[in-house]
Amino acid sequence: MTDWTGDLSLDLENRNGRTVAKNVYFKGAFKVMRPIYHDDSGQVCYYLLNPGGGYLDGDRYRMKVFADENSKVTLTTQSATKVYKTPTDHVYQETEISLKKGSYLEYLPDPLIAYENAHYKQKNVVHLELGSTFLYTDILTPGWSPSGEKFSYDTIQLKTEIYLDGKLGVFDHIKLAPEKNSMTGLGFMEGYTHLGSMIAVSEDTDNDLLDELFEMIQSEQADFKFGISRLAIPGLSIRVLSNSTQLIERIFNHCHRIISEKWNNTTPSPLRKY
């Protein structure tokens, strides 16, 4: 694929204790806002945005991020990713992230909202050096439809590959196709409408952290299901099924705070977008 609707790349480095961009490039309907420093830790935050307001039929997006040694960055979006109907061709987004030893990267996009007849594919490929840290979340939300159907989109397909020192350590594949599968059935959404996923990779992962996260999530007073597990590489994975975007966001915000305080010695700043 060479005809990208939006193309963006960030090349980051640590310069005197502060993470800055060596190179920034964006083209088409994919842009990055100016860097923001929420505190004096030197960690930078970039807001990614789609000036078109949503993803349309046949759109193609690509993002490449490179974080050099000891750089620290938060990537988030300005608003939810809205995928509208795709009558002739699916929407595709590709992300490649490379982290050097000692770097810390959080990729925390807003929810993905798939509307009626939307067909969306996403691929994330992450290359980590031992000693780097990676934190990623996504939330899948069904959009409004005239018929009132809860699952009116055609397909949502997300693939995430994480390599540690060149070896595949995580392969995560989510495919929701309401026309082919019963979304309410066992192994799919099981009576819920929203799906949240969190993947965190760090050498500092231990059972005490998983126990603390489990107890925190379990204490939430609401209707949802969740699971938490260790990865094959040092790290953890969390899944949450719910009927509310806000509930999943609240759970992930709590998890993010606990992980950031333990792994990064910082308390995350609120990523306000309104």
Provide block-wise average pLDDT over 10 residues at a time, the chain (274 residues).
87 97 94 94 94 90 98 95 95 98 97 95 98 97 80 93 98 91 75 95 97 97 96 98 96 97 89 63
Cα distances from 19 to residues 28, 64, 67, in angstroms, run 26, 17, 9
- Encoding tokens for residue 205? 């992962």
Q: What is the four-CA torsion angle of 11, 64, 42, 162, rounded to 10 degrees?
A: -120
Is 94 a member of any domain? yes
Is 98 a member of any domain? yes
Is 171 a member of any domain? yes
74 vs 10: CA distance, rounded Å = 12
- Is there a contact between 19 and 71 (Cβ–Cβ < 8 Å)? yes
Element (H, E) at 238: strand 235-242
Burial zone of 168 (CB within 10 Å; 0-12 exposed, 13-18 middle, 19+ buried): exposed
- Residue 189's domain comprises 6-263
- Is there a contact between 133 and 100 (Cβ–Cβ < 8 Å)? no
Helix (H, G, I), strand (E, B) or coil at 207: helix
Is 44 a member of any domain? yes
Phi and psi at 91, nearest 5°, equal: -90, 140
Is 242 a member of any domain? yes
Is 224 a member of any domain? yes
pLDDT at 168: 98
13 vs 71: CA distance, rounded Å = 5
The number of folded domains in the chain is 1
Cα distances from 193 to residues 67, 130, 199, 217, 247, in angstroms, run 35, 37, 20, 19, 12
37 vs 41: CA distance, rounded Å = 8
Is 142 a member of any domain? yes
pLDDT at 186: 66
Is 268 a member of any domain? no
The pTM of the full predicted model, rounded to 2 decimals, is 0.94
Find how far residue 24's CA is from the centre of its chain. Answer: 21
Cα distances from 45 to residues 39, 262, 272, in angstroms, run 10, 19, 12
